[in-house]
Amino acid sequence: MNEKTQLQGVDLSLRKFIRNLGYLSGGAALLATTPWLTSCTPEKLKEIGGHKARVALIGTGSRGMYHAHNLLLIPHAEVVAVCDNYEPHLRQAAEFFPKARTYDDYHRLLEAKDIDGVIISTPLHQHAPIVLDALSAGKHVFCEKAMARTLDECKAIWEAYQKTDRALYFCMQRMYDEKYIKGMQMIHSGLIGDVVGMRCHWFRNADWRRPVPSPELERKINWRLYKESSGGLMTELASHQLEICTWAASHKMPETIMGLGDIVYWKDGREVYDNVNVLYRYSNGVKINYESLISNKYNGMEDQILGTKGTMEMAKGIYYLEQDNELSGMRQLLESVKDKALAAIPAAGPSWRPETKSDYVPHSIIQGKVHVNHGQSTVGVDKDGSDIILSAFCQSCITGEKAKDVVEEAYCSTVLCLLGNKAMEEKRLITFPDEYKIPYMKF
């Protein structure tokens, strides 16, 4: 397949993506609520012609190589360098991209003039230093979530972004996932009424531990298990889900946070919790209930938005309406009358409402096949928006265009994650600190 054919294929794929979102029938309204998608349109892709973004991978472990596979499918991307300070990871990346230069020090990579942008997939505590150095070196930057390990680092990145003309993306892939985009459009249009609650959970049954070839590499390889380098379940998992909540709330932020965290099952020397429950309260009393544990996977993963007229289950791509439930109850009543079994029907109220949620009628958020992330992969899944956001970043490396609201949403979700950890560690109610508020936020 030649380059032109590849470009046409991507163009058609993007057209399908946009058509499914409803761009061709009232797209202006959708763009108003998802302005970051303006860099994903076929028109934008045509503007870059045959130009390629010259990008470098910093961090070539499992998530870095996940991005590497997606980069191969983006015709306007060229990987010119790879970097990792762990030799086995660097070697696998070099084999994957035999024409790319190799580095074991990202500082030397940033000195290269032929690199337009960098893609950072390192442990969390390294995000802020590399992001700040890369922006200072004049590179466009794409970084994995969460934004940073500490609140002060988040603020430093935010302030640096206000002063730079470089594009900065964080991998908040749900912002580019079709079912989330369309679901949010429905929420903001009033389909499920007033949002009165949000419930997010992510359950796995795995120790999160990776094999270590030598004891001195324990903290390097299993960085997710130690507080110095990781925010645990909050930054690794909740960062995606809390972003959904701020998106649903139109970037209104909770005022107070409380929570409990424990190491319940994986008592193997780790420092981060394996079981967390965090409650976020808005000024109007609406709450986000967040729960995650990694010793039971039965409930999987879900981002649930509760409204007065219905419920969105975003991860599954379905919604339920309260009125459907009432009609279902009436149908049951009529069937019972027909069968002369009315006397056996318990009447719980004037609406004849069934008592179990199994009677709710599911509706699809989007038409066609829905790619559902059950939350069990520790690397990533196909068609979750990661490929689209990476493609958008590569376009920004060519055009210089910043993606609106991506940095802001990453900042909001990461700060909420870190405040959740703070509330659990200090075992107290936290009020959102004024020093970490930004103009994007509403309270």
Query: Mean pLDDT over all residues of the chain?
Result: 88
Q: Which residues contact 63 (CB under 8 A, 6 or more apart)?
A: 121, 144, 379, 380
Strand partners, 102: 82
Q: Which of 25-34, 177-186, 202-211, 296-305 has the lowest mean pLDDT?
A: 25-34
The beta-strand segments (E) located in 322-432 are: 363-364, 430-431
Which is higher by pLDDT, 222 or 345? 222
Residue 136 tokens read as 């200072």
Residue 330 has pLDDT above 50, yes or no: no
Is 82 within 8 Å of 90 (Cβ atoms)?
yes
Q: What is the mean pLDDT of residues 286-303?
A: 97
Amino acid at site 37: L
Q: Which of 2-16, 77-91, 178-192, 243-257 has the lowest mean pLDDT?
A: 2-16
Amino acid at site 393: F
pLDDT digits (tens, 9 = 90+) for 301-324: 999 999 999 999 999 999 999 988
Q: Could you give the CA distance from residue 19 to residue 14 in angstroms, rounded to a whole number?
A: 8
pLDDT digits (tens, 9 = 90+) for 361-416: 999 998 877 777 776 766 666 678 899 999 999 999 999 999 999 999 999 999 99
Q: Could you count the other beta carbons within 10 Å of the beta carbon of residue 79?
A: 22
Percent of the chain with pLDDT over 90: 75
Which is higher by pLDDT, 99 or 178? 99
E strand or H helix at 397: helix 386-399
Q: What is the mean pLDDT of residues 327-345?
A: 45
Q: Could you give the CA distance from residue 241 to residue 202 in angstroms, rounded to a whole number?
A: 9
pLDDT of 294 reads 97
Percent of the chain with pLDDT over 70: 83
Residue 344 has pLDDT above 50, yes or no: no
pLDDT digits (tens, 9 = 90+) for 229-283: 999 999 999 999 999 999 999 999 999 999 999 999 999 999 999 999 999 999 9
Domains of the chain: 3-175+385-403 (3.40.50.720), 191-381+408-436 (3.30.360.10)
Closest CA to 203 of 272, 300, 277, 274: 300
**Exposed e or buried b per residue across 207-220, where buried means at least 16 C-beta atoms within 10 angstroms of its C-beta:** ebeeeeeeeeeeee
Residue 423 has pLDDT above 80, yes or no: yes
> pTM of the predicted model, to two decimals?
0.88
Residue 345 has pLDDT above 50, yes or no: no
